Structure 1
Amino acid sequence: MLSRLNAGSRLAIRRFCTKLAISAVIGTYGKAGYLTAVSFWIGLYSACCVAFALILKERFFQRDGFNHWDEALWLGFVALGLHIARNFAH
């Protein structure tokens, strides 16, 4: 499946996975708790993706592959999921 994606889509998926990994590592140094720190960093990365999408004037609905908007939505969804998981853990 990954071989059928265009280069921009593969790059978006690679950026997404890299940001998740970096957030997981940075989260170990957080004083507010692991899930809180990771959720914060992923949410911050999501906001940065929105800024990049606006700066690059990418279209929200794009048929030819993934872009920064898709990445922002994925990151926001993961951050929200971690935030909900943290609330259920307490």
Structure 2
Amino acid sequence: MNKAVVHATVDEFWYVLKGQGEIWRNNGLKSKVTKLVAGTAIDIASGTVFQYRNIANEELTFLCITMPSWPNDTEASYVDNGKWIPTV
């Protein structure tokens, strides 16, 4: 499970290809967990804190598109207030 992250300027769009997971998103007004299974499409607006995890014994595989394109190494910031305790 990864650390919780927030993006400064980009939105992300995910499409799950295989596996099973969960993603937690918190935009400051609403916090929710969404199941990630093949065929699931989600969006993550800039400024939204998010964290995801694999919940099965197979790889969680997804496509990730950012809009606009990824600007630089300072785009993503780790945050301490994630949903789950990170393992990586």
TM-score range, shorter chain: under 0.3
Q: With structure 2 as the length reference, what TM-score do the two structures score?
A: 0.21
Higher relative contact order (CA 8 A, sep 6+): 2
Larger Rg: 1
The structure in which a higher percent of residues are strand is 2
Q: With structure 1 as the length reference, what TM-score do the two structures score?
A: 0.21
